[in-house]
Amino acid sequence: MEESIVTYNAFHHVAWGTTISVYFWLVGASAGSFVISSFGWVFGIKRYKPLTMTASVTAIIMLLLVPFLLTWDLGKPVRFIYLLIPGYWHSTGPMAWGTLLICLYPMSMMVYSYFVIKSNQTFAKVFGIVAIVLALSTHWYTGVVMELNPGRFLNHTALAPLLFLTGAFISGIGLMNVIVWIRNMLLPEEKRFDWTLVYEMAQFMMYGIVFDIFLLFLDFMQTIYGSQNEVIGHGVVLMQVFRFPYLWLEMVIGLFIPLIILVTPLKRTKAGAIVASLLVAVGVYGMRIWWVMGGQYLQSFY
């Protein structure tokens, strides 16, 4: 069949579209922001403590948008409740587990934030650790949801969760830096965050970018030395149909331009750090687009 030309009389709509891409971006940015929030109270890096609540509130808000998006995207929105009823819960369905994570993660962040407000170091650390595990699991799960589809060759790779987590880490930091910048612009001098934190977070982001490029290179190698489907998937789907989100938005805008900024003296300028952060936060959305829709693209025909 591979040596044949296919003509067909049926088309298929992409089952998961923009809403799911936005959901993946939100969960990732939330997880990344929460990691920043935990630096001060969980990992004991005291100079990050002033950032804790800003990062935590950002992470909570991003995640609280998720249930609305997902419910709205269901064919039967009112039936979202089935996901929470034991008689309907299906243990082999990754989405059933994902529902639990999406419920538990914001709750744990709220409990953590409560103990941070109460300055209870012990409980803040305990619930911070719980929340970090849940943050990573919630975003790891989004990669797993896409990965567990052997028929979708662009998605079916064990690198998926790692790519998602790395994207979460860098987009979360990028988003936090942009929020710090906006906050510093709006507040008086004495309430502003220290800019050195932004430079330091940009440095963390640079390590994440390098690791992300490495993972994408591994994925690229597997694809071009892979099956005919994988070769077509890369050559046609990614380099032609999804060229903008894959090549331009993710690679050029989201990874290479920020990397160039962050390996030059520009990284020590406010403009350099903020532009790099903004580009990374936007660029990761490109990855979410091609990852969700690119995998389905070839299968939208015949």
Partner 1 sequence: MTMATIERRAVLGLGGALAAGVTLAPGITLLAAPAERTEASAGRRWAMLIDSTQCTNSCTACTTACRKENNVPLFGEPSRDVHWIRKVELRDKDQRRPSVQVPVLCNHCENPPCVHVCPTEASFIRKDGIVLVDMHRCIGCRYCIIACPYKARSLVYHETRRTDESNPNVPIRSKGVVEKCTFCVHRLDDGQEPACVEACKKEGKGAMLFGDLNDPRSEIAKRVHTVATKTIRPDLGLKPRVYYQGL
Closest distance of CB 190 from partner 1, Å: 49
- 56 neighbors 34 (Cβ within 8 angstroms): yes
Judged by CB, which is closer to partner 1: 56, or 137?
Answer: 137
Judged by CB, which is closer to partner 1: 87, or 188?
Answer: 87
Cα–Cα distance between 214 and 222 in angstroms, integer? 13
Closest distance of CB 1 from partner 1, Å: 6
Closest distance of CB 300 from partner 1, Å: 7
Judged by CB, which is closer to partner 1: 88, or 214?
Answer: 88
Would you tell me which residues interact with partner 1 (CB under 8 A)? 1, 3-13, 15-16, 74-77, 79-80, 82-83, 85-90, 92-96, 99, 145, 148-152, 296, 299-300, 302
Judged by CB, which is closer to partner 1: 150, or 188?
Answer: 150
Task: Output the CA–CA distances (angstroms, integers) from residue 10 to 72, 211, 297, 299, 301, in the order listed.
Answer: 27, 41, 14, 11, 7
CB atoms within 10 A of CB 164: 27
Closest distance of CB 51 from partner 1, Å: 36
Q: What is the DSSP letter of 301?
A: B
Name the CA dihedral angle for 286, 292, 297, 302, rounded to a multiple of 10 degrees.
-170
Judged by CB, which is closer to partner 1: 174, or 295?
Answer: 295
> Which residues are bridge partners to 11 per DSSP?
301
Judged by CB, which is closer to partner 1: 8, or 190?
Answer: 8
Cα–Cα distance between 176 and 10 in angstroms, integer? 45
Closest distance of CB 89 from partner 1, Å: 8
CA 43 to chain centre: 22
Phi, psi of 34 (to 5 degrees): -70, -30
Closest distance of CB 267 from partner 1, Å: 40
**Counting every residue, how long is the chain?**
302
3-state helix/strand/coil string of 26-86: HHHHHHHHHHHHHHHHCCCCHHHHHHHHHHHHHHHHHHHHHHHHHHHHCCCHHHHHHHHCC
Closest distance of CB 18 from partner 1, Å: 14
Judged by CB, which is closer to partner 1: 181, or 291?
Answer: 291
